[in-house]
Amino acid sequence: MPTRSKQYDQAYFDRWYRDPRHMVVQAGVLERRVQLAVAATEYLLERPLRSVLDVGCGEAPWRALIRLVRPRARYQGVDPSEYVVRRFGKERNIRLGRVGTLDELDLDAPFDLVVCSDVLHYVSTPELKRGLRSISQMCGGVAFLEMYVAEDDTEGDDDDFQKRSAEDYRRLLRAAKLIPLGMHCYASWRLKDDLTDLEKGG
């Protein structure tokens, strides 16, 4: 029997982001992720954040938190959910698209910060390869790429979870010329000559 394609509809977001029985991102966690990503970007660029691309943004919770600290920063969301784009697309600047189709969207790159949080471990390896290449090309500062591997003890939605190893991800990230900084942060190849050896996470 073929498996039914995963649906990112309102029921999905209600379950994983609003139902306290299932939601795994507790109060304060997302705020700290945003603070980390913004601080890393501004540290490397040596100026305030100006632009953000949020890939797989869902209902765009990052947007609201970024606007609190950098209200003038340009935000562009991309998500494969027709529900999200229909309901929030115009108001929150979200376009319909997938990790693997970023290069088809004619986005106004480069972006200071590219966010792809809790997304990449759900896409196929061919889509991941293509998406990482696009993210690398569109990133002018830092990419916050929250990914989990087969060995990690994860909670929450495990439908379509791709059980790749840490080395698989490291190889794909190297191929995309993204430089590891640690804590899910990766520097753009454009900044490689500005980084000291110990700033690189290895």
pLDDT per position as a tens digit, 145-196: 999 888 877 665 567 778 899 999 999 999 999 999 999 999 999 999 999 9
Q: Model-level pTM?
A: 0.89
Do 131 and 102 form a contact (C-beta atoms < 8 A)? yes
- Whether 82 has a pLDDT exceeding 50, the answer reads yes
pLDDT of residue 49: 98
Percent of the chain with pLDDT over 70: 84
Local confidence band at 108 (pLDDT 50, 70, 90 cut-offs)? very high
- Return all residues near 86 (Cβ < 8 A) that are at least 6 apart: none
Question: Cα 137 vs. chain centroid, distance in angstroms?
Answer: 14
Mean pLDDT value across the chain: 89
What was the pLDDT predicted at 72?
97
Q: Name all domains of the chain by residue range, CATH numbers in brackets.
A: 47-199 (3.40.50.150)
Q: Are 125 and 99 in contact, with CB atoms under 8 Å apart? A: no
Give the total residue count for the chain. Answer: 202
- Residue 134 φ/ψ, nearest 5 degrees: -65, -45
The per-residue pLDDT for 162 is 82
Q: Which residue has the higher pLDDT, 139 or 1?
A: 139
Mean pLDDT of 11-16: 62
Rounded CA-CA distance 115/62 in Å is: 9
Looking at residue 94, what is its pLDDT?
Answer: 98
Q: What is the pLDDT of residue 3?
A: 40
- The pair of structure tokens assigned to 11 is 């029921």
Element (DSSP H or E) covering residue 180: strand 179-182
Question: How many CB atoms within 10 Å of residue 192?
Answer: 11
Query: What is the strand order of the sheet 94-96 is part of?
Result: 94-96, 74-79, 51-55, 111-117, 139-146, 185-187, 179-182
Residue 154 pLDDT: 67
Reduced to 3 states (helix: H, G, I; strand: E, B; else coil), residue 111 is strand
pLDDT of 16 reads 53
Location of structure tokens 């379509």: 160
Contact 28, 65 (CB under 8 A): no
**Least confident among 16-25, 88-97, 107-116:** 16-25
> pLDDT grade, residue 109 (50/70/90)?
very high
Of all residues in the chain, the percent with pLDDT exceeding 90 is 74
Contacts for 194 with CB less than 8 Å, ≥ 6 apart:
44
Strand partners of residue 53: 76, 114
Among the listed residues 43, 77, 37, 74, the one whose alpha carbon sits nearest the alpha carbon of residue 61: 77
